[in-house]
Amino acid sequence: RKEVEQDPGPFNVPEGATVAFNCTYSNSASQSFFWYRQDCRKEPKLLMSVYSSGNEDGRFTAQLNRASQYISLLIRDSKLSDSATYLCVVNIQNSGYALNFGKGTSLLVTP
């Protein structure tokens, strides 16, 4: 199973800042892309799916560049509650729909 690469961070930003995370994936057969959020010692939770045209959900914007095999997540107006690990996740569609996770990027938003 090919890798999903992320900058591990940590990213320490003040409240209100804008922060961007990047991710690259190595398998060109990848078909579905997601950002998950994981709080310490908790389960991953879907933050947003990433569509080819890019998509936005409130303060969160995700972009996909299939040619460069690159995914990004932008968080605007950071809140203290955004502190977590952000996981870049890729699905190589086959019979099982397994998710392939990156190691995650740690974000700490400070007052």
Partner 1 sequence: EPEVTQTPSHQVTQMGQEVILRCVPISNHLYFYWYRQILGQKVEFLVSFYNNEISEKSEIFDDQFSVERPDGSNFTLKIRSTKLEDSAMYFCASSGDKDAYNEQFFGPGTRLTVL
CA distance to 18, 54, 88, 92, 111, per residue, from 32 (Å) = 26, 13, 11, 7, 35
Q: Are strands 32-38 and 84-91 parallel, antiparallel or unpaired?
A: antiparallel
Least Å distance, CB 37 to partner 1, is: 11
Q: Which of 12, 42, 56, 80 binds partner 1 (CB under 8 A)?
A: 42
**Site for partner 1 contains 45 (CB under 8 A):** yes
CA atoms 61, 41, 102, 6: torsion sign: positive
Binding mask 48-77 for partner 1 (x = CB under 8 A): -x----------------------------
Q: How far apart are CA 6 and CA 16, in angstroms?
A: 23
**Site for partner 1 contains 93 (CB under 8 A):** yes
Residues 72-91 that bind partner 1 (CB under 8 A): 87, 91
Q: Which of 14, 41, 68, 81 binds partner 1 (CB under 8 A)?
A: 41
CB 80 within 8 A of CB 91: no
Residues that bind partner 1 (CB under 8 A): 1, 31-32, 38, 41-46, 49, 87, 91, 93-104
